[in-house]
Structure 1
Amino acid sequence: MLKKRLVGVVTIKNGWAVQSFGYRRYLPLGKPECLVENLDRWGADEILVQLIDRSVSDLGPDFELLERLGGLGLETPLIYAGGIRSVSDGVKLIQSGADRLVVDALLHDDLSSVRGLSERLGAQALIASMPLSWQGGCVEWLDYRGQTSTPITDEILDLIHSRVISEVLITDWMHEGKPRSFNQKIVEIFSLQDVPLITFGGLSTSEQMAMLLQQSNISAIAVGNFLSYKEHAIQRFKEQLAGMPLRLSNYESRYSLFADV
């Protein structure tokens, strides 16, 4: 059986790592480099850094941050999200040290660039980010830039089904940051059951994670805020998930997850 992953998520706004609550409220944590380094030490299977203000402000990717992270000597694969506007942006990010990319705004704006990235980098390098919610008896897809939700279009479903991307990051954005609140209905109703999914948002307990990991189409669990409350949280989750097909971790951190601001 293929090993499933536990992904540590670092959310970044205005250059600082933050805790995010429902895509609307944020609390500062500190320097992104410190959080990323600790997730690397603690045994995250992958680290996702998502810069939530880059596309909103049309700033493009933060190449300087990626260069700083590259200087940490990370052993954990690094996923980058934020501000990707074109094929050239994506190629440069991979050249700058990212292992994989998450596309979000491009799914709304420019599907041809998504296909172009897949042709240049391979589908394995691309993850589609889809913030979803269950409202009015159907799944709604959020464009976080304008905080507007619409049904998922057939065009997007066709793109995903064509294997242009390798996985879909499904975020229960309405419950992001709220303990034990991930709405599993979103996963159950998602149209493409044969597509590998990464779930994120409101996942705070090993019981929730185990329920999702038992599903064949769930390839990874992503956790952000709830790794910030206790040191070695990844190790504890993995210990509690013994028997699940996850890589074990025996890493230790020399620093607190919370960084001096």
Structure 2
Amino acid sequence: MLKKRLIGVVTVKDGWAVQSFGYQHYLPLGKPECLIENLDRWGADEILVQVIDRSRRNSEPDFRLLESIGKLGLATPLIYAGGIRNVADGIKVIKYGADRLVVDALLHDDLQAVQQLSERLGAQAIIASLPLAWQEGRIEWFDYRTQTKSVISNQVLSIISLGVVSEVFISDFSHEGQANGFESNLVTNFPLQDVPIIAFGGLSDPTQMRNLLLQPNVVAIAVGNFLNYKEQAAQKYKQAISSAQLRNPVYDSNHSLLTHA
């Protein structure tokens, strides 16, 4: 059986790692490299670095940060999100050391570029990010740049169903940072039930996580804020979830959460 994954998420704004609450309020944590290094040591199956202020400014990806991360010598696969405006940006992100990348704004702006990235890098390297909300019995898709909601377009659903991307990153943006807040309807009522889903946003309770992992289309859970509250949180979550579907916890206990060795 293919094991499911626990992804550690590091959110970056203005060059600093932050705790995010609904992508509206933020608390600083320190240098992102410190959190990334500790997630690598403590058994996260993948690390997602999401730089949330790049696309809003129409800025390129944070290549300086990627270069700095590359010097850490990570053993954990790295996913990058933020500021990918075109095919050239996406290819450069991979050249700078990311194993996979996340597209969000491109799903609104240029689906042809998403297709071309998939052709150049392979679908396995591409993850589609869908910030979603459950409103009045239906799923709404959020564009954080314009602060507007809409239904997921048929064109986006089409490229997902055709396998242009490998996985869908469903972010419950309104409950992000809220303990036990993830809205399970976003998974159970997602219009494509046969595509691999990464669930993110308000995941804090092991029972909640275990139930999500039992969903056949959920291949990973992603946790941000709640991995920052306790040392060695990644492996402690894995132990508490106690799911045969999840990779075993592996960690190095000799380092603190926010400082280098």
Whether these two folds match at TM > 0.5 is yes
Give me the TM-score of the superposition, normalised by structure 2.
0.97
Name 1:102's counterpart in structure 2.
102
1:210–1:244 Cα contact (<8 Å) kept = no
Runs (4 or more) in structure 1 with deviation over 4 Å come to none
Secondary structure of the 1:146 match is: coil
Provide, for residues 98-131 of structure 1, a one-character-per-residue CA deviation record: whole Å limited to 9, x for no partner: 0000000000000000000000000000000000
Q: How many angstroms apart in 1 are the aligned matches of 2:222 and 2:57?
A: 25
Corresponding residue pairs, total: 260
> Are 2:237 and 1:248 aligned?
no
2:177–2:201 Cα contact (<8 Å) kept = yes
Name 1:57's counterpart in structure 2.
57
Name 2:120's counterpart in structure 1.
120
Q: After TM superposition, give the deviation of residue 253 of structure 1 in Å.
A: 4.4
Alignment of 1:121-160 (within 5 A): 121-160=121-160
Name the amino acid aligned to 2:95: Q
Alignment of 1:160-239 (within 5 A): 160-239=160-239
Name the amino acid aligned to 1:20: S
Name the amino acid aligned to 2:251: Y
Provide, for residues 5-55 of structure 1, a one-character-per-residue CA deviation record: whole Å limited to 9, x for no partner: 000000000000000001111110000000000000000000000000000
> Are 2:39 and 1:39 aligned?
yes
Q: How many angstroms apart in 2 are the aligned matches of 1:145 and 1:15?
A: 19
Superposed CA RMSD? 1.1
Q: How many angstroms apart in 2 are the aligned matches of 1:250 and 1:130?
A: 30
Provide, for residues 171-227 of structure 1, a one-character-per-residue CA deviation record: whole Å limited to 9, x for no partner: 101100000111101111100000000000010011011000001100000000000
User: Where does the alignment leave 5 or more consecutive residues of structure 2 unmatched?
Assistant: none
Q: How many angstroms apart in 2 are the aligned matches of 1:180 and 1:108?
A: 29
Q: After TM superposition, give the deviation of residue 249 of structure 1 in Å.
A: 2.3
Secondary structure of the 1:202 match is: coil
1:40–1:76 Cα contact (<8 Å) kept = yes
Secondary structure of the 2:235 match is: helix
2:168–2:198 Cα contact (<8 Å) kept = yes
Name the amino acid aligned to 1:192: L
Give me the TM-score of the superposition, normalised by structure 1.
0.97
Secondary structure of the 2:55 match is: coil
Name 2:70's counterpart in structure 1.
70
State percent identity of aligned pairs.
63
Q: How many angstroms apart in 2 are the aligned matches of 1:106 and 1:205?
A: 32
